[in-house]
Amino acid sequence: MTVSDTWKVGALAEASGLTVRTLHHWDTVGLLSPSLRSAGGHREYTEDDLVRLYQVLALRSLGLGLESISLCLDGGFDPARLVRDHLAGVESSLAALGALRQRLVRLDDELSAGQAPTTTMLLDALRAIGGTGTASEEVLRRHLDPDGIQVLRTRAAALGPATHYLLEVEWPELYRRAERLRAAGTPPTDRKVRRLVARMDELSALFTGGDTTVSAGVRGAWHEDPAAMSGETPAAADGWRGLAEYLEAARDARP
Amino acid sequence: MTVSDTWKVGALAEASGLTVRTLHHWDTVGLLSPSLRSAGGHREYTEDDLVRLYQVLALRSLGLGLESISLCLDGGFDPARLVRDHLAGVESSLAALGALRQRLVRLDDELSAGQAPTTTMLLDALRAIGGTGTASEEVLRRHLDPDGIQVLRTRAAALGPATHYLLEVEWPELYRRAERLRAAGTPPTDRKVRRLVARMDELSALFTGGDTTVSAGVRGAWHEDPAAMSGETPAAADGWRGLAEYLEAARDARP
DNA sequence: ACTTGAACCTGACGTTACGTGAGGTTGCAT
DNA sequence: ATGCAACCTCACGTAACGTCAGGTTCAAGT
């Protein structure tokens, strides 16, 4: 007596907002198979199948995978535990995404603030020179003469936006890796650490034009007051100073 | 004069914390190919390749895809725009994840609160009966006699945890779909809406045991004060009442 | 020089939840 | 009978690798 006692894929897809392909897929993986087939092999979904469909939709809206949904509906798994585990996964990826967003927002802010240089050591130093006046300015001036400052300014102008951008991203990444290695107890003589330091010096050279006086001056300034020279957050109270000494040790061990 | 002027995959993998397979993959997709090969075909990564590796690691830590990293490093794309676009994507998925977490947390709370029923219409009604005393209790008692209440209590005990769980999840999902359809201007006579209402009535029947007196009573209570009967947040001020009338119209149009 | 074991190589398939055709068949209405 | 919309079953593509499988090269020890 109902209008239609079975549904075909197209009708069901349109009614549920899914695609035909999705229903096909759910059929092949056994998540939702129509109870009937027509003589010619066309799928015929019954009312019972619709019930199952609603259940699947409900569980899918929680972000569960198809396999989990099957287990849940076929009674193979404790739903409460499944939800708790899933929630734990969601929480962790949420935290990771949040941290990522923090970094991207900062980076975006800095990038869209025109050509004004950035948060990290050398770039922050350049901002100080630019006259914006941060805490790092004084420290830096104590370690560099006007000529050295002029070198930095010239270099900053010569570098293209891509390089500028890379420094914004690669430099903090090198720091994080160094921090992780130090936290793991890796000795400064390890070749991983030595490579990191070498790369940091290369980036430094990019800006100083290989002028060792200038680069040593900047490094000295950073070593004296790392916190003022970087926007990054140190891991521990002695984080920056400890890291600076750690990297210095790696540098000294080079020969 | 250096310790080793080229690196082999294994050494590089160990030094960078990646796997050999990952380096192979980055080679085949052209993201990071070693500049040299040994006579026998072994990969030999030079210092320049290490520079590239650090850049890739830096960009990857931002969550960019390999294709984007290639474009960025090979100068094919504006890095600032790339970051902005990526940030937008991250923001949106962050919002989605946050909403999902909200739902999961609530669900988890309710599930771990023992057998105490839940937020949604019928289950909330059961809680009211249980004596916890919510706003819905009074409304419900006005629509049900003690016999009807006994029917609900018996049913609640008879239903297994899986069904209980499904009601917690499927019921709100049905609501959200109904709300979306109503918001989209779908007429109550549409078969999608009619199916939704039918399924809601089926769930209702699950709890009332098909006793139309009881189910009508619960429905009446919910219709009188939807906000008190559900923990969900309405879309608009008239959200719940409007939705209730919408669903009632669909029910009436059934013959 | 010869052997041997570790490290390396290139395929090739599996993973998630479908999208997107290709090429052929069925169902319903004229 | 015929047309055409809707249906069917392959089967490849997606992102970024993991995980064998079967064969080759390297470096050290004898």
Q: What is the pLDDT of residues A40-85, one digit of tens each?
A: 999 999 999 998 999 899 899 999 999 999 998 887 677 778 888 9
Give yes or no: residues B138 and B32 share one domain. Answer: no
Percent of chain A with pLDDT over 90: 31
Give yes or no: residues B33 and B151 share one domain. Answer: no
In this structure, chain A runs to a length of: 255
pLDDT by 10s per residue, chain B, length 255? 455 689 999 999 999 999 999 999 999 999 999 999 999 999 999 999 999 999 999 999 999 999 999 998 887 677 788 888 999 999 999 999 999 998 888 887 766 664 433 334 444 444 443 333 344 455 555 666 666 666 655 655 555 556 667 777 887 788 888 888 888 888 888 888 888 888 887 777 776 666 667 666 666 666 665 554 444 555 554 666 777 788 788 877 765
Could you tell me if residue B108 is inside a domain? no
pLDDT of the residue at B146: 62
C-alpha closest to that of A163 among A129, A124, A130, A115: A115
pLDDT of the residue at B96: 94
Give yes or no: residues B126 and B229 share one domain. Answer: yes
pLDDT of the residue at A204: 76
Give yes or no: residues B128 and B205 share one domain. Answer: yes
pLDDT of the residue at A134: 45
pLDDT of the residue at B122: 46
pLDDT of the residue at B235: 53
Last residue of a domain, one of B73, B95, B128: B73
Give yes or no: residues B65 and B150 share one domain. Answer: no
Please tell me the total count of domains within chain B.
2
Could you tell me if residue B16 is inside a domain? yes
In this prediction, residues A173-195 reach a mean pLDDT of 86
pLDDT of the residue at A33: 97
Last residue of a domain, one of A73, A102, A125: A73
* pTM of structure: 0.77
Could you tell me if residue B59 is inside a domain? yes
Last residue of a domain, one of B51, B73, B95: B73
Nearest residue, CA→C1' of D24: B40
Could you tell me if residue B217 is inside a domain? yes
Most confident by average pLDDT, A62-71, A98-107, A133-142, B222-231 = A62-71
Percent of chain A with pLDDT over 70: 63
Q: Which is more confidently placed, A9 or B137?
A: A9
- Whether the predicted pLDDT of A102 surpasses 70: yes
Q: What are the CA-CA distances from residue A245 to residues A53, A216, A234 (Å)? A: 62, 15, 14
pLDDT band at A156, cuts 50/70/90? low
Tell me which residue range forms the domain holding A59: 9-73
In this prediction, residues A87-97 reach a mean pLDDT of 95
In this prediction, residues A128-153 reach a mean pLDDT of 54
Give yes or no: residues B45 and B119 share one domain. Answer: no
Residue pair B143/B218 in contact by the 8 Å Cβ criterion? yes
Could you tell me if residue B1 is inside a domain? no
Q: Is the dihedral of CA B6, B8, B9, B13 positive or negative?
A: negative
Could you tell me if residue B160 is inside a domain? yes
Cα–Cα distance, A147 to A217 (Å, whole number): 12
pLDDT of the residue at B154: 61
Give yes or no: residues A98 and A14 share one domain. Answer: no
Strand C reaches within 7 A of the A103 CB: no
pLDDT of the residue at B88: 93
Give yes or no: residues B182 and B130 share one domain. Answer: yes
Cα–Cα distance, B172 to B124 (Å, whole number): 12
As a whole number, the mean pLDDT across chain A is: 77
pLDDT of the residue at A65: 95
Could you tell me if residue B13 is inside a domain? yes
Give yes or no: residues A141 and A246 share one domain. Answer: yes
| Residue found by looking up tokens 């370690």 in the block | A143
Strand D reaches within 7 A of the B67 CB: yes
What is the enclosing helix (H) or strand (E) of B177? helix B161-183
Q: Give chain A's radius of gyration (CA, Å).
A: 30
Could you tell me if residue B229 is inside a domain? yes
pLDDT band at A130, cuts 50/70/90? very low
Give yes or no: residues B66 and B123 share one domain. Answer: no
- Whether the predicted pLDDT of A96 surpasses 90: yes
In this prediction, residues A131-143 reach a mean pLDDT of 51
From chain B, pick out residues whose CB is under 8 angstroms from the CB of A107.
62, 83
Give yes or no: residues B232 and B145 share one domain. Answer: yes
In strand C, which positions have an atom below 7 A from any protein CB? 7-10, 16-20, 25-27
- Whether the predicted pLDDT of A143 surpasses 70: no
pLDDT of the residue at A188: 87
In strand D, which positions have an atom below 7 A from any protein CB? 6-9, 15-19, 24-26
For the stretch A26-38, pLDDT in tens is 999 999 999 999 9
Nearby residues of B144 by Cβ (< 8 Å), 6 or more positions away? B152, B214, B217, B218, B221
Give yes or no: residues A213 and A132 share one domain. Answer: yes
pLDDT band at A116, cuts 50/70/90? very low
Cα–Cα distance, A121 to B186 (Å, whole number): 59
CATH code where residue A47 lies: 1.10.1660.10
Pairwise CB contact (< 8 Å): A162 & B75: yes
Shortest CB distance from B15 goes to which of A78, A173, A195? A195
- Chain A nearest-CA distance from B112, in A, is 8
- Whether the predicted pLDDT of A39 surpasses 90: yes
